[in-house]
Structure 1
Amino acid sequence: MERRTYLRSLGVASLAGVAGCLGDGLSGLGSDDSNTVLDPPEEKRGDPSHPIHGEEFPPFSLPDPIAGETVSREDFVGEKPFLMTYFFTSCPDGACPALLLRLRRVQEDAAERGYEDDIALLAVTFDPERDTPETLEQYAVEQGVDLDAGNWHFLRPESEDEAKEVIYDEFGMRYKRIEDTDELAGGTDDANDGEADEDGSDDHGNETDSEHDTHDHGEYTFTHYNLITLVNEDGIVERAYPNAIADREAVSIETIVEDARTVVTD
């Protein structure tokens, strides 16, 4: 059974169990919006590989090496929404810091408005080989993340194989390891915005307020699309922003912050 079909069946089963209970940059319409706070997005965008509005987010269990604990979807289902993105600290063009900036703005808004205990912010690395616990902790400081708030988790799969299995296969977040940096210089673009084919293109944005390019990029890098996913406390996707920082069809930081606030406070 294809992953998308499986997700839809999970969502239907989940909704049956509780029955007795922006246009730009948004992913396609989901299968059911009866268990969501936000209305379906206006724009349909093909058949993304990642879960979209109205679909259940896949189960996961990943280490947070900074906090020294394991974080799972079940920590949040029935408790609080979460916002998730994907990154690697050696990202050379500012895209990953820009993604984290959006989560950080939600963290700041939550602190200002008093809902900091009612949302979780999850940043998952797909480069565990280089993103050691020490590197992630340094990166948190560079990106201005408030780890003391207790609502932010850097998640690190144990190995590259586990990263691919969880992030690429289960979450449907498309990325590609590039061994030859000359391939990038020759014009290889980011992985696509999550539609069925594995190798498409998408523009990275460069919005960041940090001096990110201080890391050694090493002998390999990644292309990836810039996905942020907002999941409600029932484990159902409210919004998938597959081009969250792209120059074209970009979703504003304000939209992501407002969507997250609405899902939390509704």
Structure 2
Amino acid sequence: MQALLASLLVVAAGGGLLWQATDGGQALTAESARRLAVQRAPQPVSPFALETMSGASATIPDARGKVALVEFIYTTCPTLCQSAGADMFRLGNRVREAGLADRVTLMSVSFDPEFDTVERMKSYGERHDADGALWTIARPRPDVLPQILSDFGVIAIPDRMGGYTHNVAVHVVTADGRLAAIHDTGDFEGIIAAARQALR
């Protein structure tokens, strides 16, 4: 009987620790914990300049006062970035349908800026029908990339085959430079709702 009681106490204590470590069972991974933290307390992101697929300049936060929906890619990605590109195209359509196209911008930002030249970004944009107005492909300067990835919680690990293992999400950035939400690329309703909230 004492052994059973001791086992139950160990299970209860372990369950309590798991409950605490997973934020009440809501965050079972570091990614979900990051998303919850941002949702509860939007995080400032360092302002940074970008070169777009047309060779023009852009910034995050958006200098025109728009909410930025930002994903991170590399243009030669054979898997996740291709499906994320298709999702961004569909997201652009949803943004237009929601009447937000004049208040929101979509950015696919390369975390391989030395390889992803303007020509490669343009080719990627053409493959995914990025119009350059609502949605553009862009790259930062290599020297500021580590700070950007840190601010956004993006992980991009070289895979020794010329590619990267990386996380995929849409990051909602307010016009005043706060990371306000992080959603899966296909969670269009959640992203649109977060964009509306960021516009308030």
* Fold equivalence (TM over 0.5): yes
Q: Which runs of 4+ in 1 moved over 6 A?
A: none
Pick aligned residue for 1:100 from 78, 81, 85 = 85
Greater Rg over alpha carbons, structure: 2
The superposition leaves residues 44-86 of structure 1 with CA deviations (integer Å, 9 ceiling, x where unpaired) of 4555399712223312222223343332234358x22111100
Tell me, what secondary structure is at the counterpart of 1:52? Answer: helix
Counterparts of 2:192 and 2:152, CA distance in 1:
24
8 Å CA contact retained: 2:70, 2:172? yes
**TM-aligned CA distance change 1:261 to 1:230, over 3 Å:** closer
**TM-aligned CA distance change 1:231 to 1:68, over 3 Å:** same
Residue in structure 1 matched with residue 73 of structure 2 by the alignment: 87
Counterparts of 2:82 and 2:191, CA distance in 1:
16
Task: Write the mapping of 1:95-134 to structure 2, written as runs, cut at 5 A.
Answer: 95-134=80-119
Counterparts of 1:227 and 1:257, CA distance in 2:
10
Counterparts of 1:69 and 1:51, CA distance in 2:
34
More strand by share: 2
Residue in structure 2 matched with residue 226 of structure 1 by the alignment: 168
Tell me, what secondary structure is at the counterpart of 2:43? Answer: coil
The superposition leaves residues 75-133 of structure 1 with CA deviations (integer Å, 9 ceiling, x where unpaired) of 358x221111000111122x112223333222112323432111011111011232110
Length-normalised TM-score, structure 2: 0.71
Length-normalised TM-score, structure 1: 0.55
Gaps of 5+ in 2: 1-21
Residue in structure 2 matched with residue 239 of structure 1 by the alignment: 181
The superposition leaves residues 223-251 of structure 1 with CA deviations (integer Å, 9 ceiling, x where unpaired) of 0011221123343333213xx26xxxxxx
Task: Write the mapping of 1:169-184 to structure 2, written as runs, cut at 5 A.
Answer: 169-179=150-160, 181=161
Residue in structure 2 matched with residue 190 of structure 1 by the alignment: none
Task: Write the mapping of 1:247-262 to structure 2, written as runs, cut at 5 A.
Answer: 252-260=186-194, 262=196
**TM-aligned CA distance change 1:72 to 1:254, over 3 Å:** closer
One-letter code of the match for 2:107? L
**TM-aligned CA distance change 1:162 to 1:178, over 3 Å:** farther
Residue in structure 1 matched with residue 44 of structure 2 by the alignment: 57
Residue in structure 2 matched with residue 11 of structure 1 by the alignment: none
One-letter code of the match for 2:58? V
One-letter code of the match for 2:51? D
Tell me, what secondary structure is at the counterpart of 1:83? Answer: strand
Pick aligned residue for 1:157 from 140, 156, 162 = 140
8 Å CA contact retained: 2:172, 2:191? no
8 Å CA contact retained: 2:73, 2:108? yes
Counterparts of 2:123 and 2:56, CA distance in 1:
18
Counterparts of 2:82 and 2:102, CA distance in 1:
24
Counterparts of 1:253 and 1:123, CA distance in 2:
16
Residue in structure 1 matched with residue 15 of structure 2 by the alignment: none
Residue in structure 1 matched with residue 6 of structure 2 by the alignment: none
Counterparts of 2:82 and 2:197, CA distance in 1:
24
Q: Tell me by how many angstroms 1:177 deviates.
A: 1.0
One-letter code of the match for 2:76? S
